[in-house]
Amino acid sequence: MKKRFRPACKTAVLTIGKDRLRVAWTNSGIAAVERETLTTKRDLKRRVKMDLVEASPPPVFRQFLVLATNGKAEEVPVDLAWAKDFERDVLEATRRIPYGQTRSYSWLAREARRPLAVRAAATTMARNPLWLLVPCHRVIHADGSIGSYGNGAVGQARKCALLEQEGVRLASPTPRAKKRSKKQARTTHR
């Protein structure tokens, strides 16, 4: 039985502020950044479709990640070789959203040259392994509601905090969530 070639990238855990982040990178740039948990390495390996080899990160990575936490991720080189064409287009379009501004999921789908693939664009945002470098928090619903982000209410609060840090003021941060909760309340009492 032949073994298939599987590309590899380097990985390490860095502490930036209060966060322990697992970073995966290639010679072209950072391929993934996730908060370190017990399953992060395994999940990233599956997501970027590469083996992860522990290594010492270049010193400049700490500077890149500090810049990114301050909303300056445009300057950080990323490697999207692992992404499918549509995912790559969506992630690159997201990186073009200026600091302090938001765009809708439908805008994102149009920028990725698939205007009807709004849900697919939203799924790409939900699975974004570069959340710190590709500002998915800047993508909101067309009605101005923030939508989901990470883990439920905690994720929504984080998304609101990130947008607020950038000076974005949302008129009504979660009207969809309120509508859903009323609908769920009606269905649970039936």
Give the DSSP H/E element, type plus range, for residue 118.
helix 118-126
Query: Based on the number of CB atoms within 10 Å of its own CB, is 105 exposed (0-12), middle (13-18) or buried (19 or more)?
Result: buried
Q: Considering the candidates 93, 136, 140, 162, report the single residue annotated as catalytic.
A: 136
Catalytic annotation present for 9: no
Gap between the Cα atoms of 72 and 120, Å rounded: 26
| Beta-strand runs (E) in the chain | 8-16, 19-25, 30-35, 51-54, 103-104, 139-140
Closest CA to 121 of 170, 84, 157: 84
Active site residues: 136
